[in-house]
Amino acid sequence: MKVIQVPFCFYPDPVGGTEVYVDALSRNLQQQGVEVLVAAPGEVNQSYQYNQLPVRRFAVSPKVENLREIYGEGDRQAALEFSRILEAEQPDLVHLHAFTSGVSLRLVQAAKKRQIPVVFTYHTPTVSCQRGTMMRWGTEICDGKVDLQTCAQCTLQGLGLNLTSAKAIGSLPPQIGRWLGNLNLQGGAWTALRMTELVSLRHTVLQALLSEVDHIVAVCNWVRDVLLVNHVPSDKITVIRQGLCQDLPKKADHSHNCTTPILKIAFLGRLDPTKGIDILIQALQAVPELPISLDIYGIARGANDPYQQELHNLALKDPRISFKAPVATTQVTATLANYDLLAVPSQWLETGPLVVLEAFATQVPVIGSDLGGIAELVESEVNGILVEPASVVAWSQALQRLCQNRDLLMQLKAGIRQPQTMATVAQEMEKIYLSLKTTK
């Protein structure tokens, strides 16, 4: 059996959690005897091997001429180049892990034209949420049901408009946007005025994608709920949680950590507002007397990123907080083994995150936001502590409690169970592949 895996990007480019997942899934499928090729968008067409994994990059258009290409069916050039890969490789199945202008409905249609089954994995809220967080108005959990006005208004508010303006502009008829689009007016205020047209276009294409793919993998329960509320048949969805991408480390005894005077906390992830590092820093600073250290292994968005600068300014006068270089994927579990706690203060609906599994693999409890995938992985008072996401007070109180009650920390460590690995995920995935191949 030959399968093409299609993520948003791939190594050696900078990658995110989805690409780490695709890499691990591909290698485990290879070990099960499945022939795997990774095909991902890139600046140019090229073929190479990445650690014995065959990779083909297909070129996307260097410049977006029309916003409808981003919100609509996708990049024509990327689809054309992907079609050529399909012709050359003749796969039994295509598995998409992204939904962007480069990895679009056009790719699904190219595969279906050749009677190749397509599986789609919903990895992040950006699949169905234009705001990208699944947090309505940035403060409340959304049920994920796509609705033109609500989604357009929420997207505009997320882009910086005040609520009154967002609701007014997000209520404009899509026809106004189409008229402006026909004049090729875009950028700034023009894009805002076109938002109902663009969101309408996105919703139409999303529904087509969900309808045309043969099976959908949800990596957590809330994703399944979002698919169901948008009328995807339940028998078309399988929940397969993420698995640990590295080999399980040797079980270590961390009991000595609980008796050290300093509570050592780590954060690993992007330096992005959705990750909530500012909430964590403010919570720590609200209890300056506590013997706590916080090491932030942050992935910067750019050298002059204002949020990154805000974080450094917040932490400037607190010697307990240190910013460190990002950790290589292969070194995450070894790094976490040196800490008492992993902090995951996300302000959006995560579908994992993988770092929680990596913490559990090293018997490190998690203090995390009571949201989305975090709340599905962390059982509060058993293997970690769940905290009200945006409340600095709640985070401060939780930190104080954990710092002053080391017996609780020991209890949480004892409550951790080893997470499933990507080998298990690959086995479940292969079952889906085989079922679709037999019906091809």
CB-CB contact of 191 with 67 (8 Å): yes
Computed over every residue of the chain, the mean pLDDT equals 94
Q: Under CATH, to which class is 2-130+199-243+422-438 assigned?
A: alpha beta
Reported for 255-260, long-range contacts at CB under 8 A and 24+ positions apart, including other chains, are: 255/410, 255/413, 257/339, 257/340, 258/340, 258/406, 258/409, 258/410, 258/413, 259/406
Ranking 85-99, 190-204, 303-317, 362-376 by mean pLDDT, the lowest is 303-317
Residue whose C-alpha is closest to residue 425's, from 118, 24, 125: 24
- The predicted-structure confidence for 302-324, as pLDDT tens digits, reads as follows 778 899 999 999 999 899 999 99
CATH number of 255-414: 3.40.50.2000
Collapse the DSSP code of 131 into the 3-class scheme (helix H, G, I; strand E, B; otherwise coil) and give the result: coil
Q: How many residues does the chain have?
A: 440
User: What pTM does this model have?
Assistant: 0.93
- Residue 294, CA atoms < 13 Å, CB-side half-sphere: 28
Residue 330 zone, left/alpha/beta (φ > 0; ψ -120 to 50; rest): alpha
CA atoms within 13 A on the CB side of 55: 24
pLDDT at 260 over 90: no
> For residue 255, what pLDDT band results from cuts at 50, 70 and 90?
very low
pLDDT digits (tens, 9 = 90+) for 106-118: 999 999 999 999 9
Contacts of 104 (CB under 8 A, 6+ apart): 73, 74, 75, 78, 79, 205
- Range 171-189 burial, b when 16+ CB lie within 10 A, else e: ebebeebbebbeeebbeee
Q: Which residues contact 248 (CB under 8 A, 6 or more apart)?
A: 361, 418, 421
pLDDT tens for each residue of 9-20: 999 998 889 999
Burial 100-124 (b: 16+ CB within 10 A, else e): bbbbbbbbbbbbeeeebbbbbbbbb
Q: Does this chain's domain 2-130+199-243+422-438 share its CATH topology with 255-414?
A: yes
Residue 90's CB is within 10 A of a number of other CB atoms, namely 10
Let me know: does 161 contact 178? Beta carbons within 8 Å.
no
Domain boundaries, the chain: 2-130+199-243+422-438, 255-414
Q: Are 77 and 61 a contacting pair, CB within 8 Å?
A: yes
Q: Angle, nearest 10°, between helix axes 148-158 and 195-212?
A: 120
User: 22-40: buried (b, 16+ CB within 10 Å) or exposed (e) per residue?
Assistant: bbbbbbbbeeeebebbbbb
* Poorest-pLDDT segment among 18-22, 43-47, 67-71, 239-243: 67-71
Q: How far is CA 66 from CA 44, 101, 196, in A?
A: 21, 11, 16
pLDDT given at position 375: 97
